[in-house]
Amino acid sequence: MFLHCNSTYPAPFDDINLNWIKSLKNRLKRINPDLIYVHGTGSITALQDEIDAIELSMGPGLMTTGGVFVGYTTSNYMNAAINVNGILQALDAQIKTNEDDIAALVIDNGDIQAELDATQLGAGLNTDGTFQTFVGTNFLDAATSLYDFWFKIVSSATAVLPV
């Protein structure tokens, strides 16, 4: 038979060492899943609640409470993203594209203005849109607008022509 260095007999293979059970019990108390001893005390449940809140704050349906990224399937720019960083990169890229496209828009007002001027002249207005007054006519010198012009013509025609 062998002796331990402290002159005690070793326990048989199938026997239970009661001192070992007490130390195991103390160790289990220290690693209880509801207690954290690393940086003070707190509950794992409270930490899990906080993690769940962070995951849900990513947006409805974007991430499950288990931490699985769901992503988007019906967005314009973010469907290919595999994480939140990918979403931000996709949005940033689209914002830059939009910025460049807007900066590249060149509106040629010259053609539009020329067409507007021609239309105004054709309607009897000045190119700045003001009414072109008549001088030396019997009935139209007093006209102040296109409406007034047409009203005076119709009134003049009615006065001269028999009905």
For 62-88, write each residue's pLDDT tens digit: 777 677 888 888 889 888 888 888 889
* 108: confidence class by pLDDT, cuts 50, 70, 90: low
SS3 string, 113-130, reads: HHHHHHHHHHHCECCCCC
Do the Cβ atoms of 68 and 51 come closer than 8 Å? no
d(CA 146, CA 126): 12
- Expressed as residue numbers, the domain containing 20 is 1-69
d(CA 118, CA 46): 75
Q: Which residues pair with 69 in a beta bridge?
A: 63
Residue 78 counted as domain residue: no
pLDDT computed for residue 81 by the predictor: 87
Same domain (yes/no): 63, 114: no
pLDDT computed for residue 89 by the predictor: 93
Same domain (yes/no): 65, 125: no
pLDDT computed for residue 96 by the predictor: 94
Q: Which residue has the higher pLDDT, 162 or 135?
A: 135
Residue 89 counted as domain residue: no
pLDDT computed for residue 154 by the predictor: 86
d(CA 94, CA 23): 61
Do the Cβ atoms of 30 and 37 come closer than 8 Å? yes
Task: Provide the whole-model pTM.
Answer: 0.39
Q: Span 17-27, mean pLDDT?
A: 67
Cα separations in angstroms, 82 against 19, 85, 94, 140: 53, 8, 17, 74
Residue 59 counted as domain residue: yes
Residue 74 counted as domain residue: no
Residue 4 counted as domain residue: yes
Residue 55 counted as domain residue: yes
Number of domains, the chain: 2
Residue 87 counted as domain residue: no
Res. 10: pLDDT tops 80: no
